[in-house]
Amino acid sequence: MTEISIPKSHPRYRSLIERDLLVKGFEEGIVVPQGLIAHGRGEAFDYIIGERTLPEAARAAEVAVAMMLLAKHPVISVNGNAAALVPQHIVALSKETGAKIEVNLFYRTEARVRKIADHLKKHGATEVLGEKFIEGVPGLESERRKVDPEGIYKADLVLVMLEDGDRTEFLKKMGKTVIAIDLNPFSRTARMADVTIMDNITRALPLMVELAKTLKTKESNSLKELASGYNNQTKLAEYIDCIQKRLKEEADKLRSTGSMR
Ligand code: PTJ
């Protein structure tokens, strides 16, 4: 990695640090080159929403955590990008909610699964599933069909982050609840999930950890109430409204500065 330190005063400091984490992950064999491209797509959406957690995303995160705490066998599915960007928060969320961690990769190699598991263990995980697998997602042809019998296969709820388009549909067909974190409200994953948190995982995961600390002290009835009546399609429409509103505000700002010149 180019050893140039990024000044904290740089307006894009956070974004540049994220890029560095991904490049480091790439050099260590955790992130695939395609993951760098995928991150770029995410960055574009993040830029448009103003690189902040929208109120709708905070609400989705709360519902998601309530569902994780209510689930019998929740599993956090981890890919290369997530492991590089938020390993400590994945471990913390697993500890706060009792969810298992499983490495599940689109560009799967056994060596990479092991590397990611070791990386998560270095960040405090005691158990990481994914090395032992069955071809357990009927109809799914990608490498993501390889799931641990004690993990995703058995799960009643799966948290997925930065997904390619096809898995959520098949997990849903298996009767599982799917929570997705995806900055792109147009993606198939975002559309197919039960709850989509349209936020950068670098903000969503820390928020979920904090929410879990509070929500785990609540009775299951109040968690059920919190999660009830959530409509993901309506929420996605609200996200798209936010994007539209922000674009219009930016265009109006330019028009008004233009008219002053
Ligand atoms: O590690 P592997 O082998 O499992 O491969 C992982 C990648 C990411 C390469 C694979 O899942 C993939 O190709 O994903 P896609 O189809 O590019 O989808 C990734 C989605 O995540 C896109 O909709 C992006 O907008 C979104 N995204 C990218 N970065 C972030 C993000 N969402 C939240 N936070 C981010 N930081």
183-199 pLDDT per residue, tens: 999 999 999 999 999 99
CATH number of the domain at 86, please.
3.40.50.12640
For residue 248, being part of any structural domain is answered with no
Residue 164 clears pLDDT 80, i.e. is over it: no
Mean pLDDT for 218-229 is: 96
> What pLDDT does residue 83 have?
98
155 neighbors 73 (Cβ within 8 angstroms):
yes
Residue identified by tokens 């409509």 is 231
For residue 14, being part of any structural domain is answered with no
100 is in which domain, residue-wise?
55-238
pLDDT grade, residue 260 (50/70/90)? confident
42-61: pLDDT as tens digits: 999 999 999 999 999 999 99
Residue 211 clears pLDDT 70, i.e. is over it: yes
> What pLDDT does residue 2 have?
55
> What pLDDT does residue 79 have?
98
Mean pLDDT for 228-235 is: 95
For residue 210, being part of any structural domain is answered with yes
For residue 23, being part of any structural domain is answered with no
For residue 25, being part of any structural domain is answered with no
CA of 184 to the centre of ligand 1 (A): 10
The number of domains in the chain is 1
- In this structure, which residue's CA is closest to atom 6 in ligand 1? 35
pTM: 0.95
- In this structure, which residue's CA is closest to atom 21 in ligand 1? 162
Mean pLDDT for 91-99 is: 98
For residue 45, being part of any structural domain is answered with no
> What pLDDT does residue 3 have?
61
pLDDT grade, residue 1 (50/70/90)? low
CA angle 239, 169, 157 (to 5 degrees): 80
For residue 227, being part of any structural domain is answered with yes
Give percent above pLDDT 70 in the chain.
Answer: 98
Q: What are phi and psi of 188, to 5 degrees?
A: -60, -40
Residue 257 clears pLDDT 70, i.e. is over it: yes
181 Cβ below 6 A of ligand 1: yes
pLDDT grade, residue 11 (50/70/90)? confident
Residue identified by tokens 């929420």 is 235
107 Cβ below 6 A of ligand 1: yes
> What pLDDT does residue 5 have?
78
Strand partners, 195: 179
41 Cβ below 6 A of ligand 1: yes
Q: Across all residues in the chain, what is the average pLDDT? A: 95
> What pLDDT does residue 123 have?
98
For residue 64, being part of any structural domain is answered with yes
Residue 210 clears pLDDT 70, i.e. is over it: yes
- In this structure, which residue's CA is closest to atom 16 in ligand 1? 164
- In this structure, which residue's CA is closest to atom 28 in ligand 1? 42
163 Cβ below 6 A of ligand 1: yes
Coil, helix or strand at residue 21: helix
Whole-number Å distance between alpha carbons of 148 and 157: 14
